[in-house]
């Protein structure tokens, strides 16, 4: 049984914006959401909070936007995976699933909401989605597809970071128009992984922050963060290595996904995502 860790303390602030339409417009309303990432301070300490405190900062704002996915004639779906990777890891899903069902090489910002608000700043340049955390609370940006039974993976490089600065994947978002719920599977700068469930009101820890040798810790490190979704089972991976598995039915099997960041210790903590892809499971 899982128990709520913290209760949302603030009131969301809403603003809206639109991305420019492509030659063949195909708009999907989405939301760039930010919310408090509620965990024990013993697990992910915040420098601005007294040691005895157990609450994190209030939830961030939510921003409704309009996304423009790639046109049907030029999808990024079957782009070959990068070559020249390190020695394959036994059990690495990427090695056994073949070409991805969908892959965004991030050679444009199509399908993402870009720009800045009080909580995050996002831009795409030279094949990189750069996400800057402007708050100690977690902020996320979603893209347009929805997945069900699939393996989802992103390649993310940290810039200058320390300790509990965190980043990762948001997934199984029930409604990409609102982004008021979903799982947050993430890594910390110091090499821990965690899984939380956000229901729009409370953040519940499902897997407490746990150190893993397969996570490359520190600044200027690149990690592949992946999660296998099959029915109610979530299997968590770091650089192709299975870390743990958990069953949870808090959210529908089909949902949206994106990336999140929390600048817990470093002002303007920044990550650069060079790829995000998913493979539908047989």
pTM of the model: 0.74
Could you give the angle at the alpha carbon of 59 between the alpha carbons of 258 and 128, nearest 5°? 30
Q: Which helix (H) or strand (E) holds 93?
A: helix 93-96
Going by the DSSP 8-state scheme, the letter that residue 21 receives in this structure is P
Q: Does the pLDDT of residue 3 top 90, yes or no?
A: no
User: What pLDDT is stored for residue 41 in this prediction?
Assistant: 30
| Rounded Cα distance, 268 and 133, in Å | 5
pLDDT in tens, 122-135: 999 999 999 999 99
Share of the chain above pLDDT 70, in %: 69
**Region of poorest pLDDT, from 131-140, 170-179, 183-192, 272-281:** 170-179
* pLDDT higher than 50, residue 8: no
pLDDT of 149 reads: 97
Q: What is the pLDDT of residues 86-112, one digit of tens each?
A: 567 889 999 999 999 999 999 989 999
Domains of the chain: 4-18+27-70+95-280 (2.60.120.560)
Three-state SS across 151-167? Answer: EEEEEEEECCCCCCCEE
Residue 216 predicted with pLDDT over 50: yes
Tokens of 235: 């299997």
Distance from C-alpha of 172 to C-alpha of 174, rounded to nearest angstrom:
6
Q: Which pLDDT band holds residue 169 (cuts at 50, 70, 90)?
A: very high
Lowest mean pLDDT: which of 59-68, 154-163, 164-173, 210-219?
59-68
Q: If you average pLDDT over every residue of the chain, what do you get?
A: 78
Specify the pairing of strand 14-18 against strand 62-67: parallel
**pLDDT tens, 134-145?**
999 999 999 999
pLDDT of 19:
32
Supply the pLDDT for residue 231.
97
């Amino acid at each position: 049984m899982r128990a709520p860790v913290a209760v949302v303390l603030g009131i969301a602030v809403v603003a809206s914006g639109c991305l420019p339409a492509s030659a063949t417009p195909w708009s999907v309303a989405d939301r760039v959401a930010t919310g408090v990432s509620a965990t024990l301070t013993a697990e992910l300490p915040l420098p601005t909070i007294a040691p005895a405190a157990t609450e994190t900062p209030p939830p961030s704002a939510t921003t409704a936007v309009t996304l423009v996915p790639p046109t049907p004639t030029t999808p990024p779906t079957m782009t070959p995976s990068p070559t020249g990777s390190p020695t394959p890891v036994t059990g690495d899903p990427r090695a056994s699933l073949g070409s991805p069902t969908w892959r965004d090489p991030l050679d444009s910002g199509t399908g993402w909401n870009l720009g800045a608000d009080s909580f995050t700043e996002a831009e795409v340049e030279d094949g990189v989605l750069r996400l800057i955390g402007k708050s100690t609370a977690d902020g996320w940006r979603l893209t347009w597809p929805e997945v069900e039974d699939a393996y989802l993976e992103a390649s993310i490089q940290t810039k200058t970071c320390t300790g509990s600065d965190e980043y990762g994947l948001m997934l199984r978002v029930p409604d990409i128009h609102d982004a008021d719920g979903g799982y947050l599977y993430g890594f910390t700068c110091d090499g821990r992984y965690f899984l939380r469930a956000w229901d729009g009101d409370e953040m519940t820890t499902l897997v407490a922050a746990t150190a893993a040798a397969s996570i490359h810790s520190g600044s200027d490190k690149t990690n592949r963060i992946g999660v296998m979704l099959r029915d109610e089972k979530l299997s968590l991976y770091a650089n192709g290595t299975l870390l743990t598995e958990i069953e949870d039915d808090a959210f529908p099997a089909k949902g949206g996904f994106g990336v999140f960041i929390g600048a817990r210790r470093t002002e303007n903590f920044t990550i650069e995502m060079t790829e995000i892809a998913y493979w539908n499971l047989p």
